[in-house]
Chain A
Amino acid sequence: MVPGLLALALVLGVVAAALAGLALAAGPSLPVVPWGYVGGVVAFSLWQALVSTILSLALGAGLALALARRTRFAGRTLLIAAMNLATVLPAIVVVFGVVTVFGRAGWLGEGMRALGFDMGSWLYGLPGILIAHVFFNAPLAARVFLAGLAAVPAEHWRLAAQLGMGPLAVFRFIDRPVLLREAPGLAGLVFLLCFTSFAVVLALGGGPRAATLEVSIYEALRFDVDFGRAGVLAALQIVLGLVLVLPILRLGTRAAEAAATGFVEARPDVEAVLPKVLDALVLALGTGLVLPPLAAVALSGARALATLAQPEVLASLATSVVVAIPAGALSVALALAFAGLTRRLRIARARPRAADAVSLAGLVILVMPPFTLAAGLFVVLRLVADPFALGLPLLALVNALMALPLVLRQVEPPLMLSAERYGHLAESLGIVGTDRLRLVDAPLLRRPVIVAFAAATALSLGDLGVAAFFGSGEFVTLPVLLHQRLGAYRMDEAASVALLLALLAFAFFILAQHFSGDGRAGDR
């Protein structure tokens, strides 16, 4: 109970301190807010998120259906691997890949120029933002949909075959209910991710007409040092975010499960012509969107490998690791304390409302703009210490908090499962405290904790956001270095850093996959 209350106090304290710091810095007078500008930013944030969500879910559903129907074709495994990788790639690496493929000086631009067309800088603004968002989120949606389709009982397929259902009937009675069941939660999640998108919009957006709230807060703090405006923007983001997040929490989004690789029962609609044509189109589109940017990161990076040996790259790698690993560990520790507290409230004390409130406190971070946290803490810490000296711990702390919702989603279910199965037994035998953690919970928790640690560390490693805020100062993380090099059009040097980041993200993904494979292995 005590660790949980401490974790709760830490999270709420940091959030409160950050908000207080921002208010303090803004001064007593109400900030002068350029409402026209702010309205434009809000409208663009919502609009691009809406379009990104629709496109991502549509392509994701198409890909899931195509992969479910076509269980063997050349390159299927490669496509699934590429889709998995796309969902875990740091945003700034995606930006690099997208620019390299679709940019004016990229593969597409050069190709068109060879044919006599100049594409111009079409990519910057809404098109580039949409491409990058769909690149991440369509594979994410496809994984969730595919997992849902794979869970359809074999009897349903046998029944469909027995009843002689055509492809439309199969879609209507079997596929569509699955897609509709998964769509609301998924749409909420993708919308929120795009609404709060930072790195993609910072790198590919342009000016106030293509900025999200997150980017505007960054600009207000970083370039204009206007704490008042940042505070207003942050408040807007928090309010809009809560309005968006609360219904999602009710829906209870499921974590994306690993895509099933094979379907036991043959679907009766694989031979029909219409699905064949549709699937071919969708697979071509998906492959065309997902593979080239990944290939660009790999190829350009491999060509520029020599530039990796520069001292600044090595220093950034060290900085990133020094920040990310403690951030991952802290996030897991906080999540365990949180989940332990909610479990106790929910089960032992039978106080589900209180437990929900604590869970919600852990998730509020989802809508909290990271710069607001960083800037507020910066202002508060300035009163007691040199904030730049505290930069690394501060960065690790904010990254740990940002990863908290993700980690909570991993560790809460097994802790609850352990309590449901063995809670009474442990109570009746008097197994409490660390004994309970060691003997009762640990076997069910070990895998989820490793998965969560890998995910949180990878998130922190790839995070451009908060690191960019402190950016140019003493320490530069890998994503910041990549962003600087992209901004300076030093593409070769950017390429090697992008590849390094992609490989790191992939390594953590493999680690997580390895341990998440069969979460029930310790349970027989």
Chain B
Amino acid sequence: MLEIADLAIDYPEFSAHYDLLVPKGALCALIGPSGGGKTTLLHAVAGFGRPPRGTLRFEGVDLTRLKPAERPLSILFQEHNLFPHLTAAQNVGLGLDPGLRLAAAQRAAVDAALARVGLAGLAERLPAQLSGGQRQRVALARALVRNRPLILLDEPFGGLDPGLRLEMIGLVDQLRRERRLTVLMSIHTPEDAADVADLMAFVAEGKVIATDTPAKLLAGARHPALDRYFRRAPLGA
């Protein structure tokens, strides 16, 4: 269980206050307008930026005292997930040793992870020689070898075209079922996540405004910000 309660972050130009519960093994999609605080929430969980006040626990462990690398999670960004001068295998290998001093067994683990995300044979490619989707697969492979129980994804597939986006979300879904991972993913295109997400949270104005199953949130939940986001007519109008 990922517990976020009364979690407050103050920046000079933006302040946020979050409450959210994600059960273990669940996939929670974060949706909402740009600038509404999705990334700030993910960064707070990952340990970037100003330290927040309030409760942030995973499986009962207080995360706020841990450095980013010590937290039981891996994070994928929309871009710059890979170092451009390192091969796919080296980029994955960084997940096992941040100095890239790898034993033979670890190299085998890297190859296995690359194979699992469908990149067998591309281990020696540089990021520039891979497509956008393949680059994100490398980053997923790195998350697999790090073997942390929580995965954060910050608009990871926003740069991909629709078919590929669905395919990648499907891959994330498979992986989390295989390994019982908890996933928190922000996404611009809520309908893409509707079939796979267990939970959907609407984040705007620095708050989690509504949390529900995707079906209910997309159809039923009513809130002015939500209506604006989906361009729905408000109730009673």
Give me the interface of A with B, judged by CB distance under 8 Å: 350, 421-422, 424-425, 427-432, 435, 438-440, 443, 522-524
Contact = CB atoms under 8 A, between A and B. Distances in A.
A204 B147 CA distance: 71
A420 B99 CA distance: 20
A348 to B, nearest CB: 10
Contacts of A440: 83
Contacts of B100: 435, 439
Contact of B68 (A428, A435, A523): A428
Given A350-B50, A422-B80, A425-B81, A439 B69 contact: no
Nearest to A432: B98
Given A430-B69, A435-B98, A524 B84 contact: yes
B50 A427 contact: no
B107 to A, nearest CB: 17
B47 interface: yes
Contact of B94 (A427, A439, A522): A439
Contacts of A421: 80
A430 B68 CA distance: 7
Nearest to B74: A428
* Majority SS at the chain B contact face: loop
9 contacts: A421-B80, A422-B80, A424-B68, A425-B77, A429-B95, A430-B68, A431-B94, A439-B98, A443-B84
B70 interface: yes
Interface residues of B, number: 27
B231 interface: no
A435 B189 CA distance: 37
B85 A427 contact: no
Contact of A428 (B49, B75, B80, B84): B75
A427 B86 contact: no
Interface string B59-94: 000000001111100110100110111100000001
A147 B29 CA distance: 46
Given A425-B81, A429-B94, A429-B98, A524 B46 contact: no
Contacts of A424: 43, 46, 48, 68, 75, 77
B80 A430 contact: no
B120 interface: no
Most chain B CB neighbours (cut-off 10 Å) among A421, A422, A429, A432: A429
B192 to A, nearest CB: 24
Nearest to B70: A430
A522 B146 CA distance: 27
Nearest 9 pairs between A and B by C-beta?
A430-B69, A431-B98, A427-B68, A443-B85, A435-B99, A428-B68, A421-B80, A430-B98, A524-B128
Contacts of A443: 83-85
Contacts of A422: 80, 83
A439 B86 contact: yes
Given A430-B70, A443-B85, A522-B85, A425 B80 contact: yes
A428 B69 contact: yes
Contacts of A524: 84, 128
A522 B98 contact: no
A350 B10 CA distance: 13
A427 B98 contact: no
Most chain A CB neighbours (cut-off 10 Å) among B46, B74, B80, B128: B80
Given A421-B80, A522-B84, A428 B94 contact: no
Contacts of A430: 67-70, 98
